[in-house]
Structure 1
Amino acid sequence: MKIPNRILQTISQAISAEKITHIEVIQPLWGGYGQLFRAYVTGKPYASVIVKYICLPQPESHPRGWNTPLSHQRKLQSYQVEVNWYQHYANIHTLQQFSPLPRCLYVDQQANETLLVLQDLHTLGFTHVRKNATSATVLACLTWLGHFHAKYMHVQPTGLWPVGTYWHLDTRPDELAALPDSPLKSAAHLIDDALKQCPFQTLVHGDAKLANFCFSQDDHAAAVDFQYIGRGCGMKDVIMLLSSVLSYHEPEALINDYLNHYFAALNQGLKAFHPRINPLEVQQAWRPLYCVAWADFQRFIKGWSVEHFKVNAYTEALTKQAITQLTTA
């Protein structure tokens, strides 16, 4: 997809750059909805910006065949949520040291197009992406999540998803209908209710996989891609991150170390942002929901693609544990 010259002119004028010297395509947007690219500029203190150029005609294909009007509407809403996040939350949040993310430089919305111009994390020193995670990488992401969740504890998701994550039950009726696992299907609403009704709700990133983090040379993390941010239990982001980094053969002690690190970061963040909230009470409410959050994601994955590598002995055991925990409580 070629980026129209008028779009490049709009970007240059919006940020008062002398000119855009060239662009570098990062990736097409999921399902053919546009392009994510880096634009190199002159006449600014920074060398480049990130641009999300979204075009909204309904695409004709989907990587796994889930091309329906419902999936189209979900994707449209996700882009509007991301615009709302960057317009109304991000530029205030960027003051936070332990959960950095891009500032919003410019937004333009037309009938069939959205243009989102963001600070390039490369210019802030977050120049690395990781396809394979070391323990240090995972801990950096968990630090980010802990501080982010602490910051937004009890914040209402105005303009965001009422319930965050891209796999939320209410937005995935097709995958629920296709789910071959009868016990999991029967427990789906019970699992969803447990996560929605736990005492402490925050804003969750909603797609906190490894690919949505960038890293500095010394392994600090920053996050991107806020299309599925909304209200929820922090364990949902934690399991999404782990689902993207685990081999699923890790010793239980390592998983516990990861969870302990996350709750230590959450504790530190709560002391800074919400000193009246007892961090121990949050941990007591959330830690038993680790298996429940996995079961919630498993419900989506098994309905979407039952052969997926994230359906395995580890996730099946956690799902069984969650169903037992919820049905015998």
Structure 2
Amino acid sequence: MLSPTQLIAQTFALDSTQVSAPLPLQTLWSGYGQIERYHLHSSDPKVPDSLIAKRIEPPTRRSHPRGWNSNLGHQRKLHSYEVESHWYGEWSKELPDSPRTAHCYARHTVDNSHLLLLEDLDAAGYPQRRQQLAASECEPCLHWLAQLHGHFLQYRPASGWQKQLWSSGTYWHLQTRPDEWQQMAEGPLKQLAPAIDQELNSSDYTTLVHGDAKVANFCFSADGSRVAAVDFQYIGAGCGMKDVAYFMGSCLSEDACESQWENLLDSYFSALHAVIRKRQLPFPTGDLELQWRNLFPMAWADFERFLMGWEPEHHKLTHFSRQMTRTALATLQHKGI
């Protein structure tokens, strides 16, 4: 396996002395690797001044912050890094300038170890990270999601169209989280979890969802008007509402969710319609919006299902979240499910 310095030197035809020592930025979840910044010293204008190396090296001894150390979880993480490598190597190249992601300079894989050399988004004009937002600050992220979803939008696609990515995006997808489902207390949400998943997959329209679209995975411009996104381990097919619901829950207070969720959906769908018009897609936007808007409570309930098994005392399990879940369950009951 090449080291980051070796791959950088190879990619940009540099001597190793032209590559600085790494600046550690982050340890990956459960100790599966590191994210580091490297500075490059070259007079060639095609060589960036800095870049980010995402280095995945699965640990020999696994440790999860909340004690979830199953082999299934290990295999899920390994596949997630494989998916992310394919995203940067093949799929992201299809995107226009918006939605903004990091350019991938090179990738290197040996067995379950991966190394990605990515554009430094701080240097590209996205230096800010946020943990919370006011509702008025959500538009750039919602528009980014609309651009992603609009670009990859499909109408009743053939099975397997999302090759090399997750067949169902998001890190909390029911089929990949049987242990957490087993830990749930008995009740309607646990019983109807498969029906919720089926409803989310029933729409005529599907796309690629980011799969972990929390506000912490967006990089903001200094004035907050533009964003780029990172962390594509769980990108895959799905209803766009999964990303939108998860994003809102990641950054807004409960009061803001309760008072602004419909307005924020309006902003998202306005941006999505604009993408569809720009791409001249033959999709009836009214039908798309009706189907997806009706699935918003299902998407919220789907994530609540995961939390109820993973950490039932989680702070995101709010009154608003329970209200959305009750709406989803009532819809299923009305359908006779």
TM-score bin (small chain): over 0.9
Q: Which residue of 2 aligns with 1:257?
A: 263
Partner Cα distance (2:314, 2:79) in 1: 26
* Preserved contact between residue 58 and residue 72 of structure 1 (Cα < 8 Å): no
Task: Choose the corresponding residue for 1:8, options 5, 9, 24.
Answer: 5
Q: Which residue of 2 aligns with 1:96?
A: 97
> What are the residue-to-residue correspondences of 1:294-313 with 2, within 5 Å?
294-313=300-319
* Preserved contact between residue 108 and residue 115 of structure 2 (Cα < 8 Å): yes
- Note closer, same or farther for the CA distance 1:177–1:10 as it changes in structure 2 (3 Å cut): same
How many residues in Structure 1 have an aligned counterpart in Structure 2? 324
Q: Could you tell me the percent identity over the aligned residues?
A: 40
Partner Cα distance (1:276, 1:309) in 2: 42
1:275 is displaced (CA, Å) by: 2.7
1:62 is displaced (CA, Å) by: 0.5
* Preserved contact between residue 201 and residue 238 of structure 2 (Cα < 8 Å): yes
Length-normalised TM-score, structure 2: 0.92
Partner Cα distance (2:257, 2:162) in 1: 36
Q: Which residue of 2 aligns with 1:161?
A: 166
**What secondary structure, in the 3-state scheme, does the structure 1 residue paired with 2:90 have?**
helix
1:60 is aligned with what amino acid? Answer: R
- Note closer, same or farther for the CA distance 1:25–1:251 as it changes in structure 2 (3 Å cut): closer
Q: Which residue of 2 aligns with 1:28?
A: 27
1:50 is aligned with what amino acid? Answer: I
Length-normalised TM-score, structure 1: 0.94
Partner Cα distance (2:228, 2:88) in 1: 15
1:96 is aligned with what amino acid? Answer: D
Partner Cα distance (2:257, 2:65) in 1: 34
Partner Cα distance (2:133, 2:216) in 1: 10
Partner Cα distance (1:229, 1:322) in 2: 24
1:128 is displaced (CA, Å) by: 1.1
> What are the residue-to-residue correspondences of 1:165-314 with 2, within 5 Å?
165-218=170-223, 219-250=225-256, 252-314=258-320
RMSD value, Cα: 1.7
* Preserved contact between residue 249 and residue 257 of structure 2 (Cα < 8 Å): no
**What secondary structure, in the 3-state scheme, does the structure 1 residue paired with 2:75 have?**
helix
Give the unaligned 5+ runs of structure 1. none
Stretch deviating more after TM superposition (275-284 or 227-236): 275-284
Partner Cα distance (1:136, 1:52) in 2: 32
1:134 is displaced (CA, Å) by: 3.1
Partner Cα distance (2:215, 2:194) in 1: 28
1:17 is displaced (CA, Å) by: 4.0
Partner Cα distance (2:87, 2:239) in 1: 18
Partner Cα distance (1:112, 1:289) in 2: 36
* Preserved contact between residue 38 and residue 48 of structure 1 (Cα < 8 Å): yes
